[in-house]
Amino acid sequence: MRSLISTSSAEATNTYFSWTQGPASFFILDTRRFRSPSLPLPPTDPSKTILGEQQLSDLLEWLAAPEPAGVRWKFVVSSVPFTKNWRVNAQDTWAGYLSERRTILEAMWSLNPHSTSNNNINIVILSGDRHEFAATTFPPPKDSPWPESAKVHEFSASPLSMFYLPVHTYRQDDDEDVCIVYIPDGNSKFGAVEIESVEGSGQTVLKYRLFVDGQERWSYVLGAA
């Protein structure tokens, strides 16, 4: 495990950290301690932050840092959804901090396979805090320097102890946050992530499996060069 906490920061704590395991590197975000109030400023206000200056800097440094040979996946783990498609209590999620979210997305688009940097790293966001499930992609804008293949994936599932939410709260309204699948029903949900090497090819694939009420309900496969 390697810590990304700045020892020179007066706010340094062990509330966010990173480590590398096998073919993947992980960054666990603290989305509570350092955030500015979600209101009354609009989501696009550049002064608003959910991570704080030091944590954002550490995250961007981690995204840009080279990984050991064989590491092809970087996971950003957020306690609140990254997508703005959740419509209930959206200000508590990254939907309330869109300027900072865009800074992070631009860093991610620059690192994904087939992007301008071509470093063969695939970025995946894992999140929760909603009592439903959704998988979302974040494609670069069409007029940007990044190709569509640099898009980022998010899988958002709530804990096993969730209660059933009868009101559906996820909705796609634009082409910035694109729904792959939305599965709102069920009394418990969890996701399992598997990364496997493709024998003889030097490639790895990621398989995400969603379990609802103890049964596998959906799966999705991503490949990395």
DSSP string computed for 155-181: EEE--TTPPP--S--B---SSSSEEEE
Q: What is the pLDDT of residue 67?
A: 87
Which pLDDT belongs to residue 123?
Answer: 93
What are the structural domains, with CATH classification, of the chain?
Answer: 17-188 (3.60.21.70)
What Rg value do the Cα atoms of the chain yield, rounded?
17
Q: Which two tokens stand for residue 201?
A: 């090819």
pTM over 0.85? The answer is yes
pLDDT tens digits, one per residue of 138-181: 999 999 999 998 999 999 997 676 777 788 999 999 999 999 99
DSSP helix/strand/coil, 109: helix
pLDDT digits (tens, 9 = 90+) for 61-104: 999 998 888 898 999 999 999 999 999 889 999 999 999 999 99
